Amino acid sequence: MYHHPVLLEDSINALVENEGGIYVDCTFGGGGHSRKILSKLSDSGKLYSFDQDLDALKNEIKDERFTLINQNFRFLENSIMLYGITKVDGILADLGVSSHQFDEAQRGFSTRMNGPLDMRMNVMQSLNAQKVINEYEEENLADIFYNYGELREARKLAREIVHQRKNKKIENTEDLKKIFHFIPPHKANKFFAQVFQAIRIEVNQELDALKDMLVQAHRILKPGGRLVVISYHSLEDRLVKRFLKNGMFEGEPKRDIYGNYKKYFSLLKSKAIVPTEEEIEQNPRARSAKMRVGIKES
């Protein structure tokens, strides 16, 4: 299976309020969430789905109500305007890397299988993991590991990479893993997951893309429209949580003389919605998922 959709029932039940409405799936992937959305829509409903990965286009759904847009969701607003759409009823974004991408060794996302240092969601872009590892300055590498992987030993890791690449180009995922031979076996799985996450975020500019999408999502949602975001690590979830709270990613909003600030969204639930133990058992990759739902204020 291309991808097992996480929180499928919860996300679509939270998203679709108007069966004749216009909806957006920002992360089409294998089409699991999109198919479920379409099952909730009437003949007059419309769904626009985004995916920058060319592999995902093979999963296109044949349905007159459906349009698949081969584009990064950071270009959400301009892309749907090309179809004459300025306002939508709901937007869904599942921020996880698809099972297909993890399971294809050639994509370089997996810590389990050896593959080229690639990690591009969009294979047409020039920046890949090999360029990051072999060409970035030591200080930049350290920042990436610290900020995107939340690795305390970031400077040591960057220094080791720069030292090793002087002797031999680091070409594949096994080359990279061998550099960190000093990591104790019982810590290796979590460590390499953090390292690969950090590189992947840099290659795909994932946090900047997420910020762009959230800002545009607020602009194009109708009052009462719903924004549903499923995230998989604290960096994403923190951005989503803050934006839903006050429309900002950092700092504090301006308050009036009574201490109130402009609300962008009301929350469907005050705490993040997480998968059940049963879902996690069926799909272990759902373990870290957190879903937040915002309802746009008028």
Other CB atoms within 10 Å distance of the CB of residue 222: 16
Q: Is the pLDDT of residue 14 over 90?
A: yes
For residue 37, the SS3 value is helix
Which of the four pLDDT bands, split at 50, 70 and 90, describes residue 103? confident
Residues 92 and 152 in one domain: no
| Percent of the residues in the chain that have a pLDDT greater than 70, as a whole number | 98
**What is the Cα–Cα distance from 98 to 84, expressed in whole angstroms?**
30
First-to-final CA distance of the chain = 40
What average pLDDT does range 162-185 have in this prediction?
95
Question: 89, 95, 77, 80: which is closest to 213 by C-alpha?
Answer: 77
Same domain, 195 and 224: no
Which helix (H) or strand (E) element contains residue 100? helix 99-103
Instruction: For residue 84, say whether it is annotated as part of any ligand binding site.
Output: no
Confidence of residue 2 (pLDDT cuts 50, 70, 90): low
- DSSP of 174-208: HHHHHHTTTS-HHHHHHHHHHHHHHHHHHHHTHHH
Question: Both 234 and 258 in a single domain?
Answer: yes
The reply to whether 260 and 218 lie within a common domain is yes
- Domain-terminating residue out of 182, 205, 228: 205
The band of 273, judged by pLDDT with boundaries at 50, 70 and 90, is very high
- Is residue 31 a known part of a binding site? yes
Q: Examine the pLDDT at 282 and tell me if it is beyond 70.
A: yes
pLDDT of residue 207: 98
Residue 192: how many other CB atoms lie within 10 Å = 19
Residue 227's closest CA among 272, 271, 268?
A: 268
Among 1-15, 25-39, 159-173, the minimum mean pLDDT is found in 1-15
Residue 107 lies in a domain: no
Per-residue pLDDT tens over the stretch 242-256 = 999 999 998 888 888
H or E element at residue 81: helix 76-81
Q: pTM value? A: 0.93
**How many separate domains does the chain show?**
2
74: number of CA atoms within 13 Å, CB side?
Answer: 10
Out of 174, 190, 205, a domain closes at: 205
Tell me whether residue 73 is annotated as binding: yes
What CATH number has the domain bearing residue 124? 1.10.150.170
Q: Over the stretch 60-77, which tens digit does the pLDDT of each residue have?
A: 999 999 999 999 999 999
Distance CA 281, CA 182 (A): 32
How high does pLDDT run on average in the chain? 94
Looking at 166, 184, 205, the residue that finishes a domain is 205
Kindly state whether residue 258 falls inside one of the protein's structural domains: yes
118 labelled as ligand-binding? no
What pLDDT is stored for residue 117 in this prediction? Answer: 96
129 lies in some domain: yes
- Is 294 annotated as contributing to ligand binding? no
Q: Specify whether the CB–CB gap between 226 and 15 falls below 8 A.
A: yes
Question: For residue 225, what is the domain's CATH number?
Answer: 3.40.50.150
- Tens digits of residue pLDDT in 226-238: 999 999 999 999 9
Q: What is the mean pLDDT of residues 210-224?
A: 98
- Retrieve residue 120's tokens: 């591009």
Which pLDDT does position 106 carry in this prediction? 86
Q: What are phi and psi of 111, to 5 degrees?
A: -85, -10
- The residues pairing with 267 across neighbouring beta strands, listed in sequence order, are 294
- The whole-angstrom separation of Cα 194 and Cα 80 is 34
Residues 6+ apart with CB under 8 A from 6: 94, 96, 230, 275, 279, 283, 285, 286, 289
Angle formed by the axes of helices 185-204 and 138-149, nearest 10°: 110
Both 200 and 213 in one domain: the answer is: no
Angle at 194 between CA 189 and CA 198, to 5 degrees: 150
Confidence of residue 101 (pLDDT cuts 50, 70, 90): confident
